[in-house]
């Protein structure tokens, strides 16, 4: 069985890290940058196009709530199109502006303030969804998954992709009990490998990448059979 730390080395760390985002920074805007990325990743679009679109926004400095509003709908659509986000350009531009408006109005544009206001992990998820139409379970899970160990109330369920990868790699059994205890078991495995709890999100991200690889391989196999 491959060691958890070795899986991270081979598959990669947090998605935020790959984008150059420092989620542990004292700069609250680093969390907003990742939330923006999570909104892009949270739709049915390829990781490559979502990443390219995020870099288009970054290249134009559109990485704060106020800058998003100042850019406006038409320019946001043009940036999204430049990144290849054409399938959801209109809807996403509208969503981004609505989310930033609510975030500025209710939390002074600060996601750390939103986290502090949340009563518990489930309330945190509800507050994130309430920022705007189109912020659903997938986006919230992507966002909070990488803040596990950084935000005290970031406790999303284990990603189904990570679960499948963990089972396939032999980290977890396929029994119902193992599935229910999957997250704490993986956290204990990470700790037993001598890794800090604050970096467990890197292990989870590596498992998600492996889960995506397995899903693509299965899709190719199914297509070949037909």
Q: Do residue 164 and residue 217 come from a single domain?
A: yes
Strands of 106-226, DSSP E: none
Range of the domain at 210: 4-14+158-225
CATH of the domain at 72: 1.10.340.30
Q: Do residue 91 and residue 39 come from a single domain?
A: yes
Query: Which residue from 179, 176, 169, 147 is spatially nearest to 213, judged by alpha carbons?
Result: 169
Q: Is the pLDDT of residue 223 over 80?
A: no
Q: Tokens standing for 110?
A: 């600060």
Query: Which residue from 111, 71, 114, 64 is spatially nearest to 93, judged by alpha carbons?
Result: 71
Q: Does 43 map to a domain?
A: yes
Q: Do residue 165 and residue 73 come from a single domain?
A: no
Q: Do residue 130 and residue 32 come from a single domain?
A: yes
Q: Do residue 37 and residue 138 come from a single domain?
A: yes
Q: What angle do CA 68, 141, 111 make, to 5 degrees?
A: 40
Q: Does residue 151 sit in helix, strand or coil? A: strand
Q: Do residue 168 and residue 210 come from a single domain?
A: yes
Q: Is the pLDDT of residue 63 over 70?
A: yes
Q: Do residue 171 and residue 221 come from a single domain?
A: yes
Q: Does 150 map to a domain?
A: no
Q: Tokens standing for 137?
A: 């379970």
Q: Do residue 168 and residue 213 come from a single domain?
A: yes
Q: Do residue 46 and residue 93 come from a single domain?
A: yes
Q: Does 152 map to a domain?
A: no
Q: Is the pTM of this model over 0.85?
A: yes
Residues 152-177 have a mean pLDDT of: 90
Q: Is the pLDDT of residue 224 over 90?
A: no
Predicted confidence band at 176 (pLDDT cuts at 50, 70, 90)? low
Q: Does 151 map to a domain?
A: no
- Given this model, what pLDDT does residue 177 score? 62
Q: Do residue 106 and residue 133 come from a single domain?
A: yes
Q: Does residue 72 sit in helix, strand or coil? A: helix
Q: Is the pLDDT of residue 76 over 80?
A: yes
Q: Does residue 148 sit in helix, strand or coil? A: strand
Last residue of a domain, one of 85, 116, 145: 145
Tally of domains within the chain: 2
C-alpha to C-alpha distance for 137 and 117, rounded to whole angstroms: 20
Q: Tokens standing for 89?
A: 């350009």
Predicted confidence band at 98 (pLDDT cuts at 50, 70, 90)? very high
Whether 156 and 163 have beta carbons less than 8 Å apart is answered as: no
């Amino acid at each position: 069985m491959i060691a958890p730390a070795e899986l991270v080395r081979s598959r990669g760390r947090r998605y935020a890290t790959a984008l150059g985002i420092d989620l542990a920074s004292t700069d609250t805007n680093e969390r907003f940058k990742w939330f923006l990325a999570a909104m892009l990743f949270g739709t049915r679009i390829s990781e490559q196009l979502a990443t390219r679109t995020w870099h288009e926004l970054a290249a134009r400095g559109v990485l704060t709530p106020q800058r998003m509003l100042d850019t406006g709908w038409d320019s946001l659509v043009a940036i999204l199109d430049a990144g290849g986000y054409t399938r959801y350009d209109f809807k996403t531009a509208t969503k981004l502006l609505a989310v930033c408006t609510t975030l500025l109005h209710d939390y002074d544009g600060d996601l750390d303030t939103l986290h502090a206001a949340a009563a518990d992990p489930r309330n945190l998820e509800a507050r994130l969804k309430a920022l705007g139409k189109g912020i659903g379970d997938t986006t919230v899970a992507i966002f909070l998954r990488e803040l596990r160990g950084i935000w005290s109330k970031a406790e999303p369920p284990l990603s189904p992709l990570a679960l499948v990868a963990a089972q396939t790699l032999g980290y977890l059994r396929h029994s119902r009990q193992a599935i229910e205890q999957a997250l704490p078991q993986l956290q204990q495995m990470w700790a037993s490998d001598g890794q800090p709890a604050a970096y467990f999100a890197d292990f989870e991200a590596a498992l998600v990448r492996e889960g995506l690889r397995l899903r693509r391989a299965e899709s190719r196999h199914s297509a070949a059979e037909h």
